[in-house]
C-alpha cells in the first residue's frame, strides 16, 4: 500500500468536509453491497461534493450529469485501474484505510442474521400449537426474508431480545386461545407474562397479540367483524373480549327481563324477578354473574334479541300479554355477561328452548352462530329464515360495498352451519333487512304454557 497517498487523503479529509462526506458515502455503499460498484450515479448533498469527487477520482472518472447540477456519473472501475497502474493499492482499500474503517458486508451479515433468526423461531414453533404455532411460523418466514419491523429490531436490539419477545407473545396467544374467561386484562397478563403490566392495552405487545389472534385463530375475525368495529383499536378490544379477556369487567353487563332468581355464595339475588314483577328490565353486571347459579326461573322460552329497540318492544308485549319468557338483549355481538347468563339459564332449565333474533344480514347470522358457539347452548334462529326474508325483502336495504364478497366467502366454508339458506337468499337479493322492519309484523302471538322450575 502507498502509505504517502493514504496519509495525504486522510489529511485532506480532516480539513475538507465535502471530501470526507463523499468518501464515507462511497464506503457506506460498499458496506451495503459488499464491494464498490463499477459505475454509478452519485447524488450530491451540496455543490462542494461534486468538486470533491473530481479531486478524489479525477475529472475522467467523475463527470457531472448534464442538466442536473447535483448528480455526478462515477466510473469507479476506471479510477481503481488508474491507482493500480500508478503502483498504488485498490481504490476500495485506499478509502477504507484513509477513513479508518473496517470493511463490512452488510448484505452478507443480514443474510446470516436472517437465517439464524428464522432457524431459532422455527424451532420455537415446533414446541407450540394452535394459533401460537401459526404466529411463530409466520414470524420465522418474515425474519428469513430479512425485511420488516421484526428484522429491524433483531438488527438494532439483538437476536435474543427479539426471540424472547416472540416467545412471550406466543405464550399470551396460547393462553388466550384456551382462556375460559372472563378475566381482567391485568390478571390475564400476570398469568401469561408474569406481570400485570406485561400486556398493556395499546402497547406494542398487546397489538401483536391481538392482531395475531385475529389472523390465526379460526373464526375469531368473523365474530369480531359481526360487531362492525369502527377502527383497529375496536377490533383488537373485541378480539380479546370474545376470548373472555376484558380491560375492566365493571362496564360489561346484560339487559334482561324475566322471572328468575340467582343464588351466589348463599345469598339470594332476586332483582330480575322483582323487576319483572314491576314490568321493568334490569341490568346485571358480569361481576354479579360470576360464581352464581340460577336457583329459580319461570319461562316458556328464552329469547336473545340483537337490537335494543326490538328488545323494548318485545318486553312491552310480554307485559301486555302476561307472557312468561326470559328476554336478553345482546346489543350486537353478545358480550360475556350475555353469554354467561344464557349459559346459567340453560343449565337451570335445559328443556326450555333458546332462540336468538337479529338482523337478517351477514352480521346477524354471525352473531347467532357466535352466541351458540361461545355459550355452548343450542340456540335456534327466531324470525331469521328464508321465508321471513323474502316476505320483507321489498323493504330491504342494499348490501354495502364488499359485503357480497364476504357472504360468498362464508358460503364457501364447510356446510352445516346455521343460517346458510338465509345467507344464500341475502346474496341473491343483494339486500339485507333490519330487525326493526320485521318486528312490528311478527310480535303478535299467542301465549304458550309456561314451565315453572323451583
Summarised one tens digit per residue, pLDDT across range 110-121 is 889 999 999 999
CATH topology of domain 253-453: Dna Topoisomerase Vi A Subunit; Chain: A, domain 2 (3.40.1360)
H helices of 278-419, in order, are: 286-289, 308-321, 336-348, 362-375, 386-392, 403-411
136 pLDDT band, cuts 50/70/90, is very high
Query: Would you say the pTM of this structure is higher than 0.75?
Result: no
Cell output for 44: 450530491
The torsion angles phi and psi of 169, rounded to 5 degrees, stand at -60, -40
Q: What is the mean pLDDT of residues 174-203?
A: 91
The 10s digit of each residue's pLDDT in 391-418 is 999 999 999 988 999 899 889 887 788 9
Q: How confident is the model at residue 446 (pLDDT cuts 50, 70, 90)?
A: very low
The answer on pLDDT for 202 being more than 70 is yes
Please say if the pLDDT value at position 229 is more than 50. Answer: yes
71 SS3 class: strand
* Per-residue model confidence (pLDDT) at position 108: 84
CB 276 within 8 A of CB 270: no
Task: Produce one character per residue of 226-241: b if its CB has 16 or more CB atoms within 10 Å, e if not.
Answer: bbebeeeeebbbbbbb
10-19, 52-61, 220-229, 439-448: least confident range: 439-448
438 phi-psi bin (left φ>0, alpha ψ -120 to 50, beta other): alpha
Asked if residue 256 lies in contact with residue 329, where contact means CB atoms within 8 angstroms, the answer is yes
Q: What is the mean pLDDT of the chain?
A: 90
Can you tell me the distance from the alpha carbon of 346 to that of 203, in angstroms, rounded to the nearest whole number? 39
Classify the phi-psi angles of 416: left when phi > 0, otherwise alpha if psi is within -120 to 50, otherwise beta.
left
pLDDT tens column, 154-179: 888 889 999 999 999 999 999 999 99
Model confidence over 230-285: pLDDT tens digits?
789 989 998 998 888 988 755 689 999 999 999 999 999 999 999 999 999 999 99
Instruction: State pLDDT tens for residues 295-338.
Output: 999 999 999 999 999 999 999 999 988 889 999 999 888 888 99
312 to 192, 258, 315: CA distances (angstroms): 41, 13, 5
H or E element in which residue 208 lies: helix 204-216
In the chain, what percentage of residues exceed pLDDT 90? 71
Q: How far apart are CA 343 and CA 262, in angstroms?
A: 13
**Nearest-angstrom CA–CA distance, 281 and 53:** 83
Domain positions in the chain are 3-104, 107-246, 253-453
Q: What is the Cα–Cα distance from 63 to 59, expressed in whole angstroms?
A: 6
Query: At residue 447, does pLDDT exceed 60?
Result: no
Q: Which of 112, 105, 109 is nearest to 34 (CA)?
A: 105
**For position 454, what pLDDT does the model report?**
57
Distances from the Cα of 324 to the Cα of 75, 267, 418, 438, angstroms? 91, 25, 27, 22
CA distance to 169, 197, 240, 339, 434, per residue, from 181 (Å): 19, 19, 10, 11, 32
Q: What is the helix, strand, coil percentage profile of the chain, to 5? A: 55, 15, 30
Does position 431 have pLDDT exceeding 90, yes or no?
yes
| Between 37 and 226, the higher pLDDT residue | 37
**Among candidate residues 395, 388, 400, the one with its CA nearest the CA of residue 425:** 388
Q: What is the mean pLDDT of residues 38-48?
A: 93
Grid coordinates belonging to 384: 331469521
Amino acid at each position: 500500500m502507498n502509505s504517502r497517498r493514504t496519509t495525504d487523503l486522510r489529511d485532506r479529509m480532516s480539513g475538507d468536509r465535502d471530501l470526507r462526506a463523499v468518501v464515507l458515502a462511497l464506503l457506506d455503499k460498499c458496506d451495503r453491497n459488499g464491494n464498490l460498484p463499477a459505475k454509478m450515479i452519485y447524488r450530491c448533498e451540496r455543490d462542494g461534493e461534486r468538486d470533491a469527487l473530481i479531486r478524489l477520482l479525477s475529472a475522467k472518472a467523475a463527470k457531472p450529469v448534464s442538466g442536473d447540477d447535483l448528480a455526478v456519473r462515477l466510473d469507479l472501475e476506471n479510477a481503481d485501474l488508474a491507482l493500480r497502474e500508478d503502483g498504488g493499492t485498490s481504490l476500495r482499500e485506499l478509502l477504507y484505510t484513509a477513513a479508518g474503517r473496517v470493511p463490512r458486508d452488510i448484505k452478507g451479515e443480514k443474510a446470516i442474521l436472517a437465517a439464524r433468526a428464522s432457524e431459532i423461531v422455527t424451532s420455537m414453533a415446533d414446541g407450540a400449537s394452535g394459533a401460537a404455532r401459526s404466529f411463530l411460523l409466520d414470524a420465522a418466514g418474515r425474519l428469513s426474508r430479512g425485511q420488516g419491523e421484526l428484522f429491524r429490531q433483531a438488527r438494532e436490539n439483538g437476536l435474543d431480545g427479539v426471540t424472547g419477545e416472540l416467545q412471550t407473545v406466543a405464550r399470551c396467544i396460547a393462553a388466550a386461545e384456551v382462556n375460559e374467561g372472563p378475566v381482567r386484562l391485568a390478571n390475564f397478563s400476570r398469568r401469561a407474562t408474569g406481570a400485570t403490566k406485561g400486556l398493556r392495552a395499546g402497547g406494542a405487545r398487546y397489538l401483536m397479540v391481538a392482531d395475531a389472534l385475529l389472523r390465526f385463530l379460526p373464526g375469531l375475525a368473523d365474530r369480531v367483524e359481526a360487531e362492525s368495529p369502527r377502527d383497529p383499536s375496536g377490533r383488537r378490544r373485541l378480539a380479546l373480549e370474545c376470548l373472555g379477556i376484558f380491560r375492566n369487567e365493571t362496564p360489561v353487563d346484560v339487559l334482561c327481563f324475566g322471572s328468575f332468581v340467582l343464588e351466589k355464595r348463599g345469598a339470594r339475588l332476586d332483582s330480575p324477578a322483582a323487576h319483572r314483577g314491576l314490568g321493568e328490565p334490569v341490568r346485571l353486571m358480569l361481576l354479579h354473574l360470576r360464581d352464581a347459579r340460577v336457583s329459580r326461573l319461570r319461562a316458556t322460552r328464552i329469547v336473545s334479541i340483537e337490537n335494543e329497540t326490538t328488545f323494548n318492544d318485545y318486553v312491552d308485549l310480554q307485559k301486555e300479554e302476561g307472557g312468561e319468557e326470559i328476554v336478553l338483549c345482546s346489543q350486537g355481538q353478545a358480550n360475556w355477561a350475555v353469554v354467561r347468563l344464557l349459559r346459567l339459564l340453560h343449565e337451570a332449565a335445559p328443556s326450555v328452548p333458546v332462540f336468538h333474533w337479529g338482523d337478517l344480514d351477514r352480521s346477524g347470522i354471525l352473531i347467532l352462530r357466535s352466541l351458540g358457539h361461545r355459550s355452548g347452548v343450542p340456540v335456534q334462529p327466531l324470525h331469521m329464515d328464508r321465508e321471513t326474508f323474502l316476505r320483507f325483502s321489498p323493504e330491504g336495504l342494499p348490501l354495502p360495498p364488499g359485503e357480497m364478497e364476504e357472504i360468498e366467502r362464508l358460503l364457501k366454508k364447510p356446510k352445516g352451519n346455521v343460517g346458510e339458506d338465509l345467507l344464500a337468499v341475502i346474496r341473491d337479493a343483494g339486500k339485507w333487512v333490519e330487525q326493526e322492519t320485521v318486528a312490528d309484523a311478527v310480535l303478535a302471538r299467542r301465549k304458550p304454557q309456561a314451565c315453572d322450575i323451583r
